[in-house]
Amino acid sequence: MTVDDTTSGAGEEPPSDSSVHATPHHEVDHTAEPTDDPLAIRLEQLILGADRRYTPFQAARTAGVSMDLASRFWRAMGFADIGQARALTEADVLALRRLAGLVEAGLLSEPMAIQVARSTGQTTARLAEWQIDSFLEGLTEPPEPGMTRTEVTYPLVELLLPELEEFLVYVWRRQLAAATGRVVQAADDEEMVDRRLAVGFADLVGFTRLTRRLEEEALGELVEAFETTAADLVAAHGGRLIKTLGDEVLFAADDAGTAAEIALRLVEAMALNETMPALRVGIAFGTVTTRMGDVFGTTVNLASRLTSIAPKDAVLVDGAFAKELTRTGDAPASEAQAAEEAAAAAERARLAEKEGRESVEPALPRYRFGLQPMWQRPVRGLGVVEPWLLARRTAPGSSS
């Protein structure tokens, strides 16, 4: 809830701006007079756990924070400008005090505290919108004729709020533990910020044409199915879903083998669904800068470019990714090498059988993936690259 940055003299409160009608926390008009919708006010009090008490100026002064810093914190959290309406609660004061206290204690710099506020605000805003649009909307169908949706909403929110709050904290702690574990295992301090990751984009082919042909509801269902399938596969196989962009998902993995498995399973899963368009995937391996849960850098740009030139239902990777798969033994340096190794292993098995000994190694190659060099081509902003076509060398279920 950004606020009017104007401050007055010590001990004086700026005049109230009754012309501002914005939304600090959710879809309730915080500049409303007490005669406004009583159910809306009751829902606000239920969700926030407190009554409106402070103007932004009063909240900042009570928290011991300058109006300028309070405005920047609220703006970073994504809250709308409410002027100087009496719309804030004790929780708003406490949040200001906590953020400012972390800065004063030297635990966070001021820019970092702003980043904390912004990342938290952006993430929870999206979550809240999803819960209202999809979750609560479906659950608040009036159970009896004559009842309104708003009459059902209050008792439902009252029951769900504590459970969802506990669940949110639980998931956040689990994700924080996993992210911390990944970072502390970095090889050195430099890798804790700029890390070497496999980054992949998966893109639905012909999505723009689909948007012109499908009804909005059908299009929404298709996008939701795609995002759900992608999110589940990425998580199940050890990757991290960075973000979804409707017809495209961005994911990352700590090693090339994990990213390759995810990419091929995505293509296989989409191919099994007749309602889905074809999928193409591009992956690159290299140094990546991570900020606020997102990834940036040349590696990310290269993965995006590879996606745009990938064939339908195929995965293209860059040379660094191919080299990493070879280094870890997940793919042969060449198919000729793989054929030689397979022939040698088969010959050893044949000799063992002839001599009455039990063979101690399989005749088939151990590699999970195959790599085929593709044509070199210039890629805008990145020079000439040589993509590699990634394929599976074993049955889909054998690497689970």
pLDDT band at residue 397, thresholds of 50, 70 and 90? very low
- Final residue of a structural domain among 139, 173, 203: 139
pLDDT digits (tens, 9 = 90+) for 349-363: 777 777 776 655 554
Query: Are residue 385 and residue 244 in the same domain, yes or no?
Result: yes
In this prediction, residues 151-175 reach a mean pLDDT of: 85
pLDDT digits (tens, 9 = 90+) for 289-315: 887 778 889 999 999 999 999 999 999
Query: Are residue 16 and residue 125 in the same domain, yes or no?
Result: yes
Query: Are residue 294 and residue 345 in the same domain, yes or no?
Result: no
pLDDT digits (tens, 9 = 90+) for 315-341: 999 999 999 999 998 998 877 776 677
Please say if the pLDDT value at position 213 is more than 70: yes
Range of the domain at 48: 1-139
Write down the pLDDT at residue 396. Answer: 42
Alpha helix ranges (H) inside 185-215: 207-213
Radius of gyration of the chain (CA): 28
For residue 340, being part of any structural domain is answered with yes
Please say if the pLDDT value at position 202 is more than 90: yes
Write down the pLDDT at residue 262. Answer: 95
Could you tell me the maximum CA-CA distance found in the chain, to the nearest angstrom?
Answer: 99
Mean pLDDT highest for which of 217-231, 256-270, 354-368? Answer: 256-270
Please say if the pLDDT value at position 105 is more than 70: yes
Count of positions (residues) in the chain: 400
**CATH value at residue 271:** 3.30.70.1230
Query: Are residue 264 and residue 362 in the same domain, yes or no?
Result: no
Angle, CA of 87, 165 and 38, to the nearest 5°: 35
Write down the pLDDT at residue 367. Answer: 84
For residue 232, being part of any structural domain is answered with yes
Please say if the pLDDT value at position 29 is more than 60: no
Query: Are residue 258 and residue 393 in the same domain, yes or no?
Result: yes
Mean pLDDT of the residues in the chain: 79
In this prediction, residues 135-156 reach a mean pLDDT of: 69
Write down the pLDDT at residue 12. Answer: 40
- Report the distance separating Cα 201 and Cα 60, nearest Å: 43
Mean pLDDT highest for which of 1-5, 40-44, 102-106, 379-383? Answer: 102-106
Query: Are residue 322 and residue 339 in the same domain, yes or no?
Result: no
- pTM of the full predicted structure? 0.63
Query: Which residue in the block uniquely carries the two structure tokens 């009608």?
Result: 21
Q: Comparing C-alpha atoms, which of 370, 300, 304 is closest to residue 333? A: 370
